[in-house]
Each structure stands twice: as structure tokens, then as C-alpha cells.
């Protein structure tokens, strides 16, 4: 999360309580684009409710990503926000 907050022209928040069930772990905006990021343990995939919500966000124009490997997340972050 700290990695994302260091990106200029960005706003990020981590969602992690009982009132945010099914929502992505991290949401944010970077230069006008809405991002939804789901972080899983190695080998895990989003649950059906999470898949449904991620698809709704994608349909609304947001960028969605999920990762089960922190190294893949870091690589994506570097590529996505270095442009």
C-alpha cells in the first residue's frame, strides 16, 4: 500500500473491514483512472462475490487487477505507473 501512495497524482485507500465484504482490497485513482486491486495469498483466486464486483468495476470503466504474488504486483505497478 505504501508503494502506491508514493505515486504522484494518485489517491489510494485499503479496504479491510466487515462493511467492505466483496470489495477489492485496494481502490484508488491515478490521473483520472479508477483502479481496483485484489490481493490474494499464493494460489488463491477471487471469490464469486469479488469476481462479480470486479466485473462491475471493469464494466464501469475502471481498471481491475488481482494478484496472488507480491512480486507480480510490484512488477505491474512499476510498468503501469512509469508511463
Q: Give the confidence band of 5 by pLDDT, cuts at 50, 70, 90.
A: confident
Which class in CATH covers the domain with range 2-81? alpha beta
pLDDT tens string 35-77 = 999 999 999 999 999 999 999 999 999 999 999 999 999 999 9
Domain boundaries, the chain: 2-81
Averaged over 16-20, what is the pLDDT? 81
Looking at per-residue confidence, does 38 or 21 come out higher?
38
Give CA 29 to chain center in angstroms: 10
Distance CA(2)–CA(17), nearest Å, equals: 19
Distance CA(30)–CA(48), nearest Å, equals: 27
If one counts every other C-beta atom within 10 angstroms of the C-beta of residue 36, the result is 23
Cβ-count burial 54-76 (b if 16+ within 10 Å, e if not): beebeeeebebbbbeeeeebeee
pLDDT at 82: 84
pLDDT at 67: 97
Amino acid at each position: 500500500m505504501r508503494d502506491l501512495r508514493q505515486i504522484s497524482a494518485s489517491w489510494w485507500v485499503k479496504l479491510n473491514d466487515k462493511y467492505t465484504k466483496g470489495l477489492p482490497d485496494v481502490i484508488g485513482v491515478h490521473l483520472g483512472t479508477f483502479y481496483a486491486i485484489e490481493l490474494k495469498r499464493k494460489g488463491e483466486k477471487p471469490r464469486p462475490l469479488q469476481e462479480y464486483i470486479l466485473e462491475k468495476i471493469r464494466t464501469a470503466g475502471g481498471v481491475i487487477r488481482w494478484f496472488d504474488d507480491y512480486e507480480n504486483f510490484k512488477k505491474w505497478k512499476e510498468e503501469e505507473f512509469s508511463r
